[in-house]
Amino acid sequence: MAVWLFIYGAVLGSFLTVCVHRLPQHESVWAAWRALGNSPSHCDRCRQRLLMRDNVPIFGWLKLRGRCRFCKRGIPGKYPLIELANGLLFVLVYMLEVPINRFAPFTESCLACSIGPADLANSLGVSPIAFVNWRFVYHLVLFEALFVASLIDWDLMIIPDSVTLPPMLIGITGAALFGKFWLVPVWFQDPSIARRFFMLLPKSWNADWLTTRTPGWIELHPHWHGLAVSLAGFIVGGGIVWVVRIVGQFAMQREAMGFGDVVLMAMVGSFTGWQPVVVAFFIAPLLALASVVVARIFQPDREIPYGPYLSLGTIITLLGWRWIWPRVELYFSIGLGLILLAIVMATLLVPMLSLFRLIKRALGIPNYTDEDFLGDEWSSADQLSHFAGETVDPQQGQWRKELWPGNATGRGQAQHDQWQRPETNGMRQHWNRRGLMLVPGWWRSLLNQRGEKK
C-alpha cells in the first residue's frame, strides 16, 4: 500500500508542478484551469514537447541529468523534489489517518477525539472502512491545494483564487454529502463551565441549553450538520484572518496579511470546521517566528509570505489532532463565552500591535509602510507599464512615427530599415539632381514647396 501510495503521490506531484507554473498566469479561475490542459509539457526554451519517458516522476529528471533532451537547458531541481515530497505526503497522511491493521479500532486514527463521530456508518451505505478511506481522499484534496498555494506564495507572494476556490467547493460539498467528515461538532459545551461562566446573568436566562453538551439535531440530521460544520469553518477561518488584517493595518499602518490568506483559511475551514482552523491559525505564528529568525540572516530584505506557515499549521493540526485536541478542548468548552473571549482578544490586539511599533521605534528599527516596500527596483510590471504608455516604434518601445530619422541612424538601424521596410517610419526614396538619397516625408514636402516657389 505504501509503495502504490508513493507512486500515486509522485505522479500527482508532477501535475502539481504544472499547476504551480500555469495557475498564477491567469486571473480568471476558469481560464487558469483551462490553461492546465491547453498544451502538453514542453521545454520553455526550445518549445519542444517532452517525451513520455522524460515525464516519469523523479527518474525522468535523473535520467536527463537535469537538462532538456533537445536544447540542454537546465531543468530546475525543484520539480523532482516536489514529486518526491508529494509521494511521501501521501504515505504519511494515509499511515496516520487510516488505522494500519484492517481490524484495528478507528480510535487509532490521528483524527479521533473524545467528541468525534462515534459511528462512522452513514446514510449513503458506505462501510466504516470505506468511509475512512474516502475521508483520506477528502483531506488529500485540502493538502494538495495547500501544497500548491504555499509554493506559489513563496515564489510570487500571491495566492491565486484558482488554487483555493475549487477545493473550497469540494470541501463544502463533501462535508454535506458524507455527513460525518467533521472532527468536532459545530457546537458543544461543558455544562458546568457554561453555567459558571453565565452565573452573573439573570436566572431566567438559565435555560435548558446550558445543561446540554451537544444539540440533539446533530445525530438526527448528519448531512445538515456536516454542512453546518463546513460553513461555520468557512466563516470563522476567513473571518479571523480578515479581522487580523483590518486591525493590523490600523495599528501598524501597513498591510498585515494579504487577502489571499483570508481565502486560504476560509478554504481550510470548509474542510476542517471552525475549531481546528482556529488551532491552525495560532500554530502558524510559532512556525513563522522560527523561520523568520533564520531567513533574516540570509535574506534580510525579503518579505516573508505567511501562506506557507498557515498551510503547515493546518497539516500539523490535522495529522496531530488526536494529541492536540485534549490540550485545547477546555478552551472550546465554554459555549457562548467564546464569543465574548474573541471580542476581548480582538480588542487587545490593537494596543499590542501599537506597543510593538513603539518597541521597534525605541530600538531604532524603522516602521515601514506599504510604500516603503515598493523599493526602487524596476519590476516586470514597471516594464510593461512603461511600454504600454508609449506609441509604436518598428524596433522596440513605441516612439512616434514623425520623429527625426537620426534616431534610427544613431541606433545603427537606418540602412536596415531602408533595406527591409523602405516605407517605414516616414522614409521615402527621393530622386533629385544630387542622386538617390533618403529623406523624411516631412522634409521632402518642404523641398517640394521650395521648388515650386522657385
Dihedral sign of CA atoms 212, 216, 222, 227 in order: negative
Q: Which sequence spans correspond to the domains of the chain? A: 98-362, 380-453
Of 205 and 68, which is predicted with more confidence? 68
Dihedral sign of CA atoms 187, 190, 191, 195 in order: negative
* C-alpha of 117 from chain center: 31
Helix (H, G, I), strand (E, B) or coil at 437: strand
pLDDT at 445 over 70: no
Write down the H helix ranges in 98-127. Answer: none
Helix (H, G, I), strand (E, B) or coil at 405: coil
Strongest mean pLDDT among 136-145, 175-184, 238-247, 370-379: 136-145
Q: Nearest to residue 230, comparing CAs of 295, 189, 171?
A: 171
Q: What is the mean pLDDT of residues 314-328?
A: 95
Least confident residue range of 28-42, 182-196, 291-305, 415-429: 415-429
Please name the residue that has the C-alpha cell 509602510: 369
pLDDT at 167 over 90: yes
* CA dist., res. 184 & res. 332, Å (int): 10
**How high is the pLDDT of residue 153?**
93
Q: What is the mean pLDDT of residues 13-35?
A: 90
Residue 438, H or E segment: strand 435-440
Of 38 and 299, which is predicted with more confidence? 38
421: left (phi over 0), alpha (psi -120 to 50) or beta: beta
* C-alpha of 301 from chain center: 22
**How high is the pLDDT of residue 150?**
95
* CA dist., res. 203 & res. 200, Å (int): 9
**How high is the pLDDT of residue 17?**
92
Of 41 and 432, which is predicted with more confidence? 41
Question: Could you count the other beta carbons within 10 Å of the beta carbon of residue 259?
Answer: 15
What pLDDT digit, counting tens, does each position of 186-201 carry? 988 877 776 666 665 5
* C-alpha of 239 from chain center: 17
**What is the C-alpha radius of gyration for the chain, rounded to an integer number of angstroms?**
31
Grade residue 125 by pLDDT with cuts at 50, 70 and 90.
confident
* CA dist., res. 24 & res. 16, Å (int): 13
Least confident residue range of 5-9, 28-32, 88-92, 441-445: 441-445
Q: Nearest to residue 1, comparing CAs of 103, 107, 133?
A: 133
Decide: 257 and 306 in contact? Cβ < 8 Å: yes
Q: Nearest to residue 213, comparing CAs of 187, 183, 184?
A: 187
The three three-digit cell numbers of residue 418, written as one number = 531602408
**How high is the pLDDT of residue 96?**
93
What pLDDT digit, counting tens, does each position of 259-294 carry? 899 999 999 999 999 999 999 999 998 998 888 777
**How high is the pLDDT of residue 293?**
74
Q: Nearest to residue 242, comparing CAs of 222, 216, 224, 269?
A: 269
Q: What is the mean pLDDT of residues 35-42?
A: 80
Question: Could you count the other beta carbons within 10 Å of the beta carbon of residue 62?
Answer: 10
pLDDT at 220 over 70: yes
Of 348 and 411, which is predicted with more confidence? 348
Q: What is the mean pLDDT of residues 391-408?
A: 50
Q: What is the mean pLDDT of residues 288-308?
A: 75
Q: What is the mean pLDDT of residues 88-106?
A: 86
| DSSP assigned state of 50 | P
Dihedral sign of CA atoms 160, 163, 169, 172 in order: negative
**How high is the pLDDT of residue 188?**
85
**How high is the pLDDT of residue 190?**
78
Q: Nearest to residue 138, comparing CAs of 236, 329, 264, 273?
A: 273
pLDDT at 8 over 90: yes
pLDDT at 454 over 50: no
* CA dist., res. 58 & res. 280, Å (int): 32
Least confident residue range of 238-247, 333-342, 380-389: 380-389
**Percent of the chain clearing pLDDT 70 (strictly above):** 71
pLDDT at 208 over 60: no
Of 20 and 336, which is predicted with more confidence? 20
**How high is the pLDDT of residue 296?**
66
Write down the H helix ranges in 47-160. Answer: 59-64, 78-97, 128-156
**How high is the pLDDT of residue 321?**
95
Question: What are the backbone angles phi and psi of residue 292, rounded to the nearest 5°?
Answer: -65, -40
CA within 13 Å, CB half, 340: 7
pLDDT at 236 over 50: yes
Question: What are the backbone angles phi and psi of residue 437, rounded to the nearest 5°?
Answer: -145, 155
**How high is the pLDDT of residue 209?**
56
Q: Which residues contact 18 (CB under 8 A, 6 or more apart)?
A: 36, 41
Of 192 and 31, which is predicted with more confidence? 31
Of 85 and 243, which is predicted with more confidence? 85
Least confident residue range of 144-158, 244-258, 331-345: 244-258
Decide: 233 and 274 in contact? Cβ < 8 Å: yes
Decide: 9 and 18 in contact? Cβ < 8 Å: no
The three three-digit cell numbers of residue 16, written as one number = 502539481
pLDDT at 243 over 80: yes
Grade residue 384 by pLDDT with cuts at 50, 70 and 90.
low
